[in-house]
Amino acid sequence: VAKREGGGRARLFRREMAEELLARQRDKRDLRAAIGTEQLVLHYQPIVDLTSSAVSGAEALVRWQRPGRGLLPPQEFIGLAEETGLIVPLGAQVLTAACAQAVRWRGEGRSLDVTVNVSTRQLSAPGFLPSLGRALEATALPPDGLTIEVTESVWADEAAMRALMAVRETGVRVALDDFGTGYSSLSYLHRYPFDVVKIDKSFTRALGDTGRTAGVVRCIIDLAEVLGAVTVAEGIETREQADWLRRAGCGYAQGFLFGRPEPAKGWDSLPSRN
């Protein structure tokens, strides 16, 4: 009896594996088909200058309007896109769309810096620089209107690091996202220039907990200043967090307190600097 049950379990396991594999193939096929279409949509979250309270920029965050499945958050498909290499055409589409939106805002007299997430895998692909150049050229966005965001995983990838330094030469700004959650190394930070350091929301969330967190965040802000970078704190949900960060010298902030990511349409009534 035990043996028969064991065999049943093994069969069930094999079936689950097969189903997972099929689902993955389906996801991959659907994602490939979605790229280049309006199924990929960008939402924009305001980045606020903590001193003046003005909206200074917007982070573009991709979503997948997948037929029959609703609006999927990036966690549900960016991983797959990275593993399959689809992040390259997906990322190119996002870059062009975000640059185009920045130009549209400029046309309305609002100078909003637009920030775009770029995966390490995307950055290390040979065509990244040309595709960035094409996005800027096609939209006529000046390079200093764009910031690209990378995570600390770039440091483990030589080709990505080389591309990143070349990006910076063009005048496009570079932000280090989720700072403090990955492979932070003072030696890398010291050696490679970044324009923006984004303080991860796990720090923001823990600010009220202990004096320890507050101390660490103060150090990050001071360190960024020494290195000539501005700081953006992520995940601000309360007025207390915003006030504390402003007093600690953090330049910018982003979070539900100021606005959730939403389609550019929702920005029409939002005030901004200028």
The contact set with Mg ion (CB under 5 A) reads 117, 149, 177-178, 234
Q: Is 213 exposed, middle or buried (0-12, 13-18, 19+ CB in 10 A)?
A: middle
Q: Which two tokens stand for residue 41?
A: 């949509």
Q: Least distance (Å) from ligand C2E to the CB of residue 186?
A: 22
Residue 74's binding partner out of ligand C2E, Mg ion, none, with CB under 5 to 8 Å set by partner kind? ligand C2E
Whole-number Å distance between alpha carbons of 253 and 242: 7
Q: Out of ligand C2E, Mg ion, none, which partner does residue 195 contact, by CB within 5 to 8 A per kind?
A: none
Report the residue from 113, 152, 178, 195 that binds ligand C2E according to the rule CB under 6 A: 178
Mask 61-90, x = binds ligand C2E (CB under 6 A)? xx----------xxx--x------------
Count the Cβ atoms, other than its own, within 10 Å of residue 239. Answer: 9
Q: How large is the angle between the packed helices 87-107 and 128-139, nearest 10 degrees?
A: 30
CB-nearer residue toward ligand C2E: 5 or 209: 209
Site for ligand C2E (CB under 6 A): which residue of 35, 45, 155, 232?
45
Q: Look up tokens 């389609």; give the residue.
A: 263
* CA nearest to 234, candidates 72, 121, 115: 115
- Pair type for strands 40-49 and 113-117: unpaired
* Least Å from the CB of residue 160 to Mg ion: 14
Min dist. Cβ of residue 133 to ligand C2E (A) = 18
Q: How far is the CB of 105 from ligand C2E (least distance, A)?
A: 18
